[in-house]
Amino acid sequence: MTRKSRIADIAEAAGVSIASVSKALNNRSGVGNESRERILEVAARLDYRHKTADLADAFPSGIAVVTTAALYLNSQFYEGVIGGALKAANEAGVAAKVHLLTPDIETGSVNVERLVAEERACLLLVGLDHPLLIDQVVRSQAPAVILNGIDRTMRLSCVLPDNRSAGWLATSRLLSEGHTEIVHVSRLFRTSLKERFDGFRDAMQEAGIAIDPDRHLFDLTAAGILEPDMSNALIEAMQRGRFAKATAFVCSNDIMALGVIDALRALGRSIPRDYSVIGMDDISIAQHSNPPLTTVRIEREEIGRVGWEILRERAQNSEARPRRIGLAVKIVERATIGSPRTYLRPRV
């Protein structure tokens, strides 16, 4: 049997790099006209069958946008991500369905084998990056992209905000105002939230401040606290004297930031006169809090849109290499940051 021609064969015969061949065959920029013509001539001469399909062939059953009910229901963040992906697919004329799957109790991972085997679905995995799921998808060879998650093995493409920069930006904003006693509020159970804490730590260390977990970290997961109970837990912690020197809170999402504000106001404190608070994500209610929340904006719809573009590239060209894309974030100034108070008057 005659071996099929490969991109490497075209590159060798045309005297160019494999990357140049890929760009020319996929009609992308970065290749000169002369080289492009030579590459296409060699490809035709070698009867190269390019693994690029049109959209109908690439998405015979559309795309499956996969997440869990818990992630979707408990976070406005994912509604924006999914909305961006659905809109982009719809504009391209590709059908998309959302699947809310239930994780396995023992492993914590969802199973997408049926979607791949029965529906021949291409996958957008929203907030799902469990190693068992990644192994399953890689074995299936189904086109797939992770949104707001990371494949540390770099076998699947990933699109997510630059979470470390988000943590660094938020903390640096407080440091620029003169705050040094800053508490990071988080739930350190996901890679994305751990990266936001890493950014907090980067900024603090760059300012010459050594991190003391008792003073600088309120980890809801370690304390066994759920978000609805966060305000009461913070009130109790502060009444016991924890965070006594704190003047500011940087929170890994806006819901936690609003919980912090509720707790501080219950203690009779004013925002931002007594404490400064900054969140992350910029969900819709952030601008309607009292006072309006300063936060780090994550372009959630953009995550979905870029994820769709990468999935389309992978579905149309099986030789497309995995990519990890971190999208830029930015501060949204509102009304919860001020200068640090020098002391708090004891309440009578």
For residue 333, pLDDT beyond 80? yes
Average pLDDT on 250-254 reads: 97
Q: What is the dihedral of CA 313, 317, 321, 326, to 10 degrees?
A: 0
Question: DSSP per residue over 25-47, as a string?
Answer: HTT-SSS-HHHHHHHHHHHHHTT
For residue 314, pLDDT beyond 70? yes
> Which residue, chain included where needed, has tokens 């016991």?
240
Helices 33-45 & 18-25, crossing angle to 10 degrees?
Answer: 90
Helix or strand run (H / E) with residue 99? strand 96-101
Q: What was the pLDDT predicted at 3?
A: 62
Give the integer Cα–Cα distance in Å for 183 and 171: 10
Nearest to 81 by CA among 113, 128, 116: 128
Q: What was the pLDDT predicted at 345?
A: 41
Question: DSSP per residue over 203-247, as a string?
Answer: HHHHTT----HHHHEEEHHHHT--GGGHHHHHHHHHHTTTTTT--
> Which residue, chain included where needed, has tokens 């739930």?
187
Nearest to 248 by CA among 275, 282, 215: 275
Ramachandran area for residue 77 (φ above 0: left; ψ -120 to 50: alpha; else beta): alpha
pTM: 0.81
The 8-class DSSP code of residue 208 comes to T
Average pLDDT on 228-255 reads: 96
Give the integer Cα–Cα distance in Å for 26 and 6: 14
Residue type, 295: T
Considering the chain, what is the average pLDDT of its residues? 91
How many helices (H) and strands (E) the chain has is answered by: 15, 12
The number of C-alpha atoms within 13 Å of 292 and in the hemisphere containing its C-beta is: 9
Nearest to 81 by CA among 325, 314, 312, 300: 300
Give the integer Cα–Cα distance in Å for 261 and 250: 11
> Could you tell me whether strands 330-332 and 294-297 are parallel, antiparallel, or unpaired per DSSP bridges?
antiparallel
**Residue 255 banded pLDDT, cuts 50, 70, 90:** very high
Q: Is 12 helix (H, G, I), strand (E, B) or coil?
A: helix
Give the integer Cα–Cα distance in Å for 29 and 19: 11
**What does residue 254 show for φ and ψ, rounded to 5 degrees?**
-70, -35
For residue 1, pLDDT beyond 70? no
Q: Which domains does the chain have, with CATH numbers?
A: 7-45 (no CATH), 55-161+300-328 (3.40.50.2300), 163-297 (3.40.50.2300)
- Class of residue 49 by CB neighbours under 10 A (exposed 0-12, middle 13-18, buried 19+): exposed
Give percent above pLDDT 90 in the chain. 72
Contacting residues for 205 by C-beta, under 8 A, at least 6 apart: 211
Q: What was the pLDDT predicted at 50?
A: 63
For residue 176, the Cα-to-chain-centroid distance in whole angstroms is 26
Helix or strand run (H / E) with residue 19? helix 18-25
Instruction: Find out whether the peptide bond into 272 is cis, omega within 30 degrees of 0.
Output: yes
Give the integer Cα–Cα distance in Å for 283 and 292: 12
For residue 209, pLDDT beyond 60? yes
pLDDT one-digit tens code per residue, 27-83: 767 788 899 999 989 988 888 766 555 677 788 889 999 999 988 887 789 999 999
Contact 327, 303 (CB under 8 A): yes
Residue type, 162: D
Q: What was the pLDDT predicted at 316?
A: 87
Q: What was the pLDDT predicted at 53?
A: 53
Lowest mean pLDDT among 109-118, 126-135, 179-188: 109-118
Q: What was the pLDDT predicted at 234?
A: 97
**What does residue 324 show for φ and ψ, rounded to 5 degrees?**
-115, 120
For residue 245, pLDDT beyond 70? yes
Give the integer Cα–Cα distance in Å for 282 and 257: 11
